[in-house]
Every structure is written in C-alpha cells, then in structure tokens.
Structure 1
Amino acid sequence: MVFLNPGYSGERFWTDYSRYMQDAAGDLGIELKVLYGERDPARMLGNARQVLDGEHPDYLIFTNEQFQGPVVLRLFENSKVKLFALHSTLTEEQQALIGGSRERHGNWLGSLVPNDEEAGYLMGRDLIALAKGQSTELLAFSGVKQTPSSILRLAGLQRALNEAPHIKLVQAVHGEWQEQRAYEQAIGLLPRYPQVSLVWSANDEMAFGVMRAAAELGRELHYAALNNSDRVLQTRIDGRIEVLASGHFLLGACALVMLNDHAQGLDFVEHGGKDQVARLLRTVNRTQSKTLLKRLARPDIDMDFRQFSLLKHPQQRRYDCSIASLLE
C-alpha cells in the first residue's frame, strides 16, 4: 500500500499519523510506503505520478487536500490499483460532476473520514457553555479554505451557534492552520471586537497564535481547539485551553484495518458502507489529556490494530476503531 500524505514531512500531526499507520501495517503484515506532499498541490500530484510510473501497489490511499482528489482518480482510472480516500473525500459538488466511489471510477473503493462536523459542534457547544448563559461574542479561526475538514468543522460550530442565540459570531477567518497567521489576524481583530470572550479554533496552532496575541493585548479569553500535540495536551491539562477535541490521528491506521480485511475477501461495503465516518474525534478532559500525553510520548505505540478487524471479530457488524484504549 502507498499513502499520499498531504502534510509536511516535519509536521508533527502528519508524521504521527503515518507512525500509527506504520504500526498498524506491522500488525497486519502490510508493506506501507508514505510519500509526503509537503502541503504543495504540485508535489502531491507529482507523488501520485511517481506511483503511477513505478511498480503499482495493490492499494493507493489519497486525500482530497486542496481538492486534488479528482485529479488522482483520473490519473489511475485505467490502472488496476485500488484507490481509497482517507481523511478527506470528494465533496458533494465534486461527486456530482465525476461520480462517487464505485461509480464512474470503479477502482475507487470508498473512503474513511473523521467526524469533523461533529467535532466542530462539540467544541462549539462546550465553549459556549463556558459563557454560563450570558450573552457574549465569539471569534472563529478556520483552516485552509479549500480543505474539507476545515469546512466541516466550521459547519459544526455553526450548528452549535444555531442552538445558542445569545452567542454572536462576529467573524470567522481562515488562519490556514498556522500559528503566525492566526497571531497576526488576532492582533488586528481583537481590538476591533472588545466584547469577544470566546475563541474557537479548528486546530491547536491557530489557538496558540490567538493566545499569544491576547496576552500581548491584555485580553483574557476562553479557547476551544483540536489536535493531539504535546503542547496542546499540556495546555489543556493546565486549563489555559478549556475545550479540546482529539482522536483523529488514528484514522489512517483504522483505514489499513479495513483495507487489509478487503484484501482478504471481507468487503467493508457490507459493514458500514463504502464511504464511512469514523467517530474518532471526541472532547478530552484534563485527566484524559494527561493520560493521552503520556501514551503518545512512549516510543512504542503498544496497540494491536488487529483488535479492530472484522475478520478477527466476525460478531461485530461495523468497524469501531477508537482511542478508548489510549485513555485507560
């Protein structure tokens, strides 16, 4: 199998993501190669062409980062390589044009994405609860505009806001996942909105940028963020970030379990459908954050991903990969 990782080769989230995939590959007897796209659409497609021009893998795992999914599908439409969308799949608009999995592109088997919309909602709901029913204003920092996960998380926040008419969203900006960009935006926005007390951030880096700006401006704010870096987990433990969602770093490993079962004759389409949403993202409290921080710091992952295989556990009807064991 080959994974076209869209992230930077030095980016903690995406390198941890690949590390868990490699651990699962070891458990399952899979040969896995990871090619990093360095967040560059041209590099991502160059990696895809490299795979196409070389020895073809049995499975190619790709993302729809920067909406590049359709190009990958077109590149491989005449090959025998089985394709699988991971982390972000084609949007409804894209699928209306070129079809969904197992339709026009018959070798596109399906997809596995995290519960980004639900995560955005849970973060928004718990952040709003910190206002204790009082009217206040909220500032949101979303990710890269062309990233499905960014769009879905923001949609989840909007759902939470629809349930809380006493909270006003003053502005949602695209911090592009970057601490420095969010810092520069917050330096300009916070003085403009003196009534803002809540900050929702689609990842941890942007939250840190806003926190730096708020400290310089003498503002005390409540924060919600998402990720699993040592820094954000420690900040959740310290209480400086009061709402934190995490868990999606296991998604790639969960996909390998599904594809390994598929290679051995068990089609996941019969166990949850061809396109599935893994409910990996969840909010974590201080105690859970402390446990997760210790587990992720260990050099050995110490998880047997075979436990999630439906071939190994035929009594289960659906895949249920989760971080529950990491929180014990």
Structure 2
Amino acid sequence: MLKALCQSLCLSLPLAANAQAASVVFLNPGLSTETFWVSYARFMQAAADDLGMTLRVEYSERNAERTLSQARALLKGPQRPDYLVLVNEQYVAPEIIRLSKGTGVKLFLVNNGLTASQAQSIEAQPEKYPQVLGTLTTNDEQAGYQMLHQMVALLPRTDGPVDLVAFAGVKTTPASQQREAGMRRALADFPQVRLRQVVYGGWSRERAFEQARVLLQRYPNTTLVWSANDEMAFGAMQAFEAAGRMPGRDAVFSAVNSSPEALRARVDGRLGVLMGGHFTLGGWAMVMLHDDARGLVVNRDGLREHSVPALQSIDQAKARRWLKLLEQADHGVDFQPYSAEGRPADYTYPFLTAPMDY
C-alpha cells in the first residue's frame, strides 16, 4: 500500500520534482545515413544512458516539411515527451515553438538558434509563442574566419593574386550563414585573396562535385577551396582529382566536421584545415535537460542562449587521437561530472566556456 501511495504521489508531481527518467525526443534534421547527424545522435544517446534519461531520435531526412509534421504529431499526440530538442534548420523553429504552446513540452534548440528577426517576432507575441528553455549554438562565425586564416598560412609566399572558391551549405540555415560570414570577414585581412564565387552545396557531396566541375572550368587557377562541411569538401576534391589536380598539393582544402573520413583526410594532408567538435552540442544539451528535470536552474548566468566554443581546429595529432575516440560510443566522455547536481550555486557548465579536449 505504501509503495502504491508513493507511485501515485510521484505521478501527480511534475517531472522536475521527481526522479523519473526524463523523456526527450530529438528532431534530427539530417539524413539517417549522414555521418555527422548520426554521430551527433549517438553522442546524445551516450549522454542519455549516462544520465538515466530516455531519448528518441526522429530524422527528417533534410526535409523541413517532414520536421514540422513530426513536431506536430509529437506535440499534439497522446504521449508527449518532457523535452523536444530541435534545430532551426531551414527556419522551422518558430512554427514548432508555436505548436508547443499549452502542451507542457519544453523546447531546447541546438546548433541553429533563432535568427534575430525570428527572436524579435517571437518576443513581441508572448500570447502566441511560449519561452524556449534554452539554446546552444557554436562558434560558427569564428570557425569560418579561422579556417581561411589557416588556409592562407599554408600557401607559399607570393605577391600575386590567390583565387578562392567557397562552398556554403544552405541559405536558410543560420550556421551556414555564420560560417560564410566568418570567411568573408577574414577576406579583409588578405587583399591578395580573390573570392571568385560562393555556391550553396546543400551540404551534399554530389551537388558540390557538380558545382566544383563548373567552378574549375570557370576559375582554373583556384588554389583555395573553403567548405562549410566535409561532404562538400570531398565532392570538390573529387572534381579536382578528376581534373588531374591533387588536393593538398595543388590546392588547399578546408572543411568542418570530425567524421572518420575527414579526420583521415586531415592526417594524410588532403585536408589542410579542419574544424570539428560541434557534434557534442546535443550531448551537452542533455546534461542541461537532466538538470532541469531535477529542478535545477540551468540558465545560471541568467541567459537562455549560449554560444559554445565547441568548434576547434583539428591538427594531425588531434585527428589521430579523435579517430581512436570515435571507436567508443560516448567518445570517451563521462557525462555525470558535468551536471550541476550537488554543485555550489556559482557552478558554471564547463562546456559553455571552453572547448572540450578529448
């Protein structure tokens, strides 16, 4: 009888006040076969396992309408999760936030937060849009800037012009916009570098390959190839190789992502510059959701939006080390120590302030 009474009381309390496992659904914007987003979900699952949470991942297969349909079914259905984690890929977040009003489901944004105009519109209509629990984005603009700086440093010294082509992701994705903005900011430091063209490869290897074939014919002296992700970099590399030009010798390539293929390309020198580490944001979000479910304040600094310095430069030594860590499901991370549980009031999540080195 005592056990039954306890269960009844626990069920009547909000999740934040009891010890039941918090349930999370992640609306994954990527393909279910896409290395980055699969590894992203795997890192989140490792965090959920460590922290005693339940996680379900739904892939949109890079279809914004599918994301919205998934969100609608989750938020209007009979078995709602405690938390919904989403990405503002192709600007889907405002509609999902609107759909969540009155459902009791807390929303958390990762990787792509609201744009300034979206945030302004939402703040002006509190009767229509509930407040989001938190947002974790990464240092995309700085990464784009740093990539070009490191690429130029690899070139032989010359007074002549240097031709650059760039592969951005999607125009309606904040992370892609910010990486491109960083690259454009870096151009001001290098007057000898001529940005010949920016194309939008949609994060796709196949599309970037076709685009690179055209760009090579148009700008045959290209020696710098900047890419906002690894798939597009590999597509461009394929086009260069087909034209008899060797990546790493005849042109400097850069990429973002720490897939095994990208890490190996960094080790062998085909990629001269590689930025990675942002696959961890979902895992760090799980730590914060775990703490919120325990009744802890997660926006300890009073902020709901945080830019996490997760993207970091990966040299050859780090690439070798990360390749070994990728063999472990959790990338060698113990998530429990990152929780604010049992910590003093001034505790700051370490992943908010410094890149995690593995």
| CA displacement at 1:74 relative to structure 2 | 1.1
Deviations 1:162-182 (A, max 9, x none): 222221111110011111111
Partner of 2:231: 205
Partner of 1:193: 219
Q: TM-score, normalised by structure 2?
A: 0.86
Partner of 1:307: 337
Number of aligned residue pairs: give it: 326
| Aligned residue type for 1:93 | S
| 2:65 alignment partner, one of 21, 42, 47 | 42
Structure 1 contact 186–213 (Cα < 8 Å) conserved: yes
Structure 2 contact 47–330 (Cα < 8 Å) conserved: no
Q: 1:24 to 1:34 in 2, by over 3 A?
A: same
| CA displacement at 1:307 relative to structure 2 | 2.1
Partner of 1:27: 50
SS in 2 for 1:66: helix
Distance 2:208 2:150 in 1: 22
Partner of 2:303: 273
Partner of 1:8: 31
| CA displacement at 1:249 relative to structure 2 | 0.9
Q: TM-score, normalised by structure 1?
A: 0.93
Structure 2 contact 98–128 (Cα < 8 Å) conserved: no
Q: 1:101 to 1:27 in 2, by over 3 A?
A: farther
Partner of 1:284: 314
Structure 1 contact 101–274 (Cα < 8 Å) conserved: no
Partner of 2:41: 18
Distance 2:295 2:49 in 1: 20
Structure 1 contact 102–110 (Cα < 8 Å) conserved: no
Distance 2:206 2:143 in 1: 24
| CA displacement at 1:227 relative to structure 2 | 0.8
Question: Which segment drifts farther, 230-239 or 125-134?
Answer: 125-134
SS in 1 for 2:299: helix
Deviations 1:260-292 (A, max 9, x none): 122223222223621011111001100100110
| 1:81 alignment partner, one of 105, 109, 112 | 105
| CA displacement at 1:44 relative to structure 2 | 0.7
Structure 1's unaligned 5+ residue stretches are none
Which of the two has higher C-alpha Rg?
A: 2
SS in 2 for 1:113: strand
| Aligned residue type for 1:130 | L
Question: Which segment drifts farther, 295-304 or 171-180?
Answer: 295-304
Structure 1 contact 120–156 (Cα < 8 Å) conserved: yes
Partner of 1:251: 281
| CA displacement at 1:110 relative to structure 2 | 2.1
| Aligned residue type for 1:154 | E
Structure 2's unaligned 5+ residue stretches are 1-23
Q: 1:125 to 1:313 in 2, by over 3 A?
A: farther
Q: 1:42 to 1:20 in 2, by over 3 A?
A: same
| CA displacement at 1:317 relative to structure 2 | 4.0
Distance 2:44 2:153 in 1: 36
Structure 1 contact 224–241 (Cα < 8 Å) conserved: yes
Distance 1:211 1:109 in 2: 41
| 2:202 alignment partner, one of 147, 168, 176 | 176
| CA displacement at 1:2 relative to structure 2 | 1.2
SS in 1 for 2:133: strand
Report the RMSD for the aligned CA atoms in angstroms.
Answer: 2.0
| Aligned residue type for 1:119 | A
Percent identity of paired positions between Structure 1 and Structure 2: 43
| 2:93 alignment partner, one of 62, 69, 78 | 69
Pair 1:122 & 2:152 matched: no
